[in-house]
Homo-oligomer: A and B are copies of this chain.
Amino acid sequence: MENKEDGIIAENGKTEIPKDGSICGFDSLHRLLQSSLPPQLFQEVSRLLLGMNCGKALETLAIPEPAKSLSSKHDFDLQAFSFHAEKESLREPRIVRVGLIQNSIALPTTAPFLDQKKGIFEKLTPIIEAAGTSGVNILCLQEAWTMPFAFCTREKKWCEFAELVDGESTQFLQEFARKYNMVIISPILERDVKHGETLWNTAVIIGNRGYIIGKHRKNHIPRVGDFNESTYYMEGNTGHPVFETAYGKIAVNICYGRHHPLNWLAFGLNGAEIVFNPSATVGELSEPMWPIEARNAAIANSYFVCSINRVGTEFFPNPFTSGDGKPQHSDFGHFYGSSHISAPDSSCTPSLARHKDGLLISDMDLNLCRQLKDKWGFRMTARYEIYADLLARYVKPDFEPQVISDPLLSKKTF
């Protein structure tokens, strides 16, 4: 997998083609189109690619000075937008400010584990501060944020990064939650000592007063590419909880769960208004799918989807193979960042950079969720009865698909 991280964004913010002719290191699709198309064309392309929020172009938010200054000093991408909803007669707007953080790891994977973890804590501190001083209400970090995404290695030493739900990283974040009155979603590798040291891929939900509201464990575990997560942990056993916080009803669909429309649906049926999708995914494996699945989930379930992907390439001490016949190698590919937010009206924000740490901030009026439900009526026209029946039949070993064969066929086509 190619990974060219340098020399693509010039000082003036324009996209430049590197000398070798490759452009796969470009910064973001949105900025690439914006700098390459005449303004009128860009506007129309944006209408189709990003949707129009209630018929209006997405607004950018003014970023508070302290956050701007932290972003310059610590060199992270910082973008802020605002989704619009119609004014209602009987409900006040319910505007929530959400923040998403994407980042690369801080130290090489060969550094002592404690240093690696502390390095990430230190690296994230100014970005979390930028969110806090910008008045973010709900902040979400990326999947397994306390560690490199080491599951590709299949080595068990990385299990040392697993923590209790109320462990060190939670305590680190609880301080910020209290300081900024901010709900924080913290996706970690969890060690469940009450169940014989079981490991889980878990999101801890810290309330705005620093209290742990609850946790959710990743429902679907990939068996694709180099993920190898099924070597480390099993499918979650926490159902599809929706957490009722001071700022609205939220849920967490961790990483690979985004490929499962039923997983998205279940959070919707339980009443989620914002579903966070902290992820770790690479290059050609998933990049064209990345905006499709998130936006579809937001549309189909009339809620906001907040997508986060980590950034950069992580090299591991011992090489491993990918099961594709290619030579052994020591990296998992390029985590392409591109965190973004999708709204139920099919609009979405531009993405954060593909190669850089970043904080994406967005205001959203949660009233938009019900407005879209009333407009499109997907829940009301969904006929869940027939699907409950179908799935109940499908899960039985003797399920027979509903197939009508052309009677003139001489043999089966499959």
Q: A24-B44, A377-B223 are in contact. Are A288 and B347 (CB under 8 A)?
A: yes
From B26, B381, B408, A211 is in contact (CB under 8 Å) with B408
Docked Cα-Cα span, A378 to B214, in Å, equals 28
Q: A37-B36, A300-B260, A388-B395 are in contact. Are A246 and B413 (CB under 8 A)?
A: yes
Residue pair B288, A50 in contact (C-beta under 8 Å): yes
- Say how far A374's CB is from chain B's closest CB, in angstroms: 10
- Say how far A39's CB is from chain B's closest CB, in angstroms: 11
Within 8 A of B (CB), among A224-256: 224, 235, 239-249, 256
Residue pair B36, A211 in contact (C-beta under 8 Å): no
Residue pair B388, A270 in contact (C-beta under 8 Å): no
Sampled A-B contacts (24; CB under 8 Å): A17-B41, A24-B44, A29-B49, A32-B44, A36-B37, A47-B288, A52-B288, A94-B413, A207-B406, A223-B381, A241-B403, A242-B402, A243-B405, A244-B405, A246-B406, A247-B413, A260-B378, A261-B296, A266-B386, A288-B346, A292-B296, A385-B395, A388-B392, A391-B391
Residues 58-92 of A, flagged 1 when their CB comes within 8 A of B and 0 if not, give 00000000000000000000000000000000000
Q: A288-B51, A388-B394 are in contact. Are A270 and B401 (CB under 8 A)?
A: yes
Report A's interface with B, CB cutoff 8 A: 15, 17, 21, 23-24, 26, 29, 32-33, 36-38, 40-41, 43-45, 47-52, 55, 94, 207-209, 211, 213-214, 219-224, 235, 239-249, 256, 259-262, 264-266, 269-271, 284, 287-289, 292-293, 295-296, 299-300, 346-347, 375-378, 380-388, 390-392, 394-395, 401-409, 412-414
From B240, B262, B402, B405, A270 is in contact (CB under 8 Å) with B402
- Say how far A233's CB is from chain B's closest CB, in angstroms: 13
Docked Cα-Cα span, A396 to B256, in Å, equals 30
Residue pair B408, A242 in contact (C-beta under 8 Å): no
Contacts of A248 in B (CB 8 A): 413-414
- Say how far A413's CB is from chain B's closest CB, in angstroms: 6
Docked Cα-Cα span, A347 to B287, in Å, equals 11
Contacts of A391 in B (CB 8 A): 384, 387-388, 391
Contacts of A394 in B (CB 8 A): 269, 384, 388
Residue pair A249, B403 in contact (C-beta under 8 Å): yes
Contacts of A381 in B (CB 8 A): 220-223, 235, 256, 260
- Say how far A170's CB is from chain B's closest CB, in angstroms: 15
Q: Who on chain B is nearest to A295 by CB?
A: B292
Residue pair A259, B378 in contact (C-beta under 8 Å): yes
Residue pair B288, A48 in contact (C-beta under 8 Å): yes
**Contacts A269-B401, A271-B414 supplied; 12 other A-B pairs, CB < 8 Å:** A23-B44, A29-B49, A36-B36, A94-B413, A222-B381, A241-B404, A242-B404, A261-B262, A270-B402, A292-B295, A293-B299, A388-B395
Contacts of A222 in B (CB 8 A): 377, 381
Contacts of A48 in B (CB 8 A): 29, 287-288
Q: Who on chain B is nearest to A259 by CB?
A: B378
Docked Cα-Cα span, A403 to B267, in Å, equals 10
Q: A41-B32, A265-B262, A388-B394 are in contact. Are A406 and B211 (CB under 8 A)?
A: yes
